[in-house]
Amino acid sequence: MINSLKWYLDTWWLVTARPIYFYTKLKEESWKEKSLTFLLFSSWIVAFAATVAVFIIQYVTIGATLVEGITGMKFLIILPVLLTLAFVFFMISFLIVGGVMVLVFGVAFYAVGFLLHYVYLVAGGKGSLNRMLQQSFYSSAVVLVAFFPVLFAVLTKYSVLDFSLFRIGYNLVYGLTVLFVYGLWAVAGRKVYGVPKWKAFAGALVPVIFLLIFGLVFDKIALSKLESWITPLK
């Protein structure tokens, strides 16, 4: 497990810090092998961060009301029960969130690879769907930026940030992530299909447009609904 995590972190660093070098040196193999493993690691790491945030924002708040007024020896007596319940609820939440993350990211990055494959074929490139899926799954390295919105949510819950700053921070992180993954997909398209640079960037715009539309819709609809969940009670 430790060796696998080290491999993931080393690969993640190459993808994010030296993407051109990484995609140039990457040898083709089935997308169901290392690239899928990489995506699964990314999904479960994000799920862990999200679960920690849910635990702090919801479970700790609920737990604090349950033990309010209990002190001294009485608190020490019930402490093992509280810790056991906390662990059980954390693991249940982690498994649920992890399953959702694997499904969402798996479908999303498969769809990106599938879409880009045909976009670049239409643009006159020559390459394989398998290799594009492989490249797309490695681009899942970008999902780890979810740590920032998760941190912003916790800080908002405890009044370090107000919701307007949370919204600005989330949108800034999302915008920069879309810009970065746009570059990753363009590099991948150029390496896999051998298209000119301008065609590589033009082709990568197709999934990016969908991401931008999703970001606008999420900002208008979902973020406002998050306000009551992550802002402190007044």
pLDDT in tens, 123-133: 888 989 999 99
More confident residue, 42 or 219: 42
Q: How confident is the model at residue 10 (pLDDT cuts 50, 70, 90)?
A: very high
d(CA 188, CA 178): 15
At 143, list the tokens: 């999902």
Count of CB atoms situated within 10 Å of the CB of 122: 9
Q: Percent of the chain at pLDDT above 70?
A: 94
Chain centroid to Cα 86, Å, comes to 25
d(CA 103, CA 212): 21
Q: Percent of the chain at pLDDT above 90?
A: 59
In this predicted structure, the answer to whether residue 119 has a pLDDT above a threshold of 90 is yes
CB of 107 closer than 8 Å to CB of 163: no
At 129, list the tokens: 């769907």
Tens-place pLDDT, residues 75-91: 677 778 778 888 888 89
The pLDDT of residue 116: 95
Exposure on the CB side of residue 132, measured as CA atoms within 13 A: 27
Q: Looking up tokens 């679960």, which residue turns up?
A: 51
The pLDDT of residue 104: 95
Q: Find the mean pLDDT for residues 45-55.
A: 92
d(CA 123, CA 65): 60
The pLDDT of residue 28: 87
In this predicted structure, the answer to whether residue 234 has a pLDDT above a threshold of 60 is no
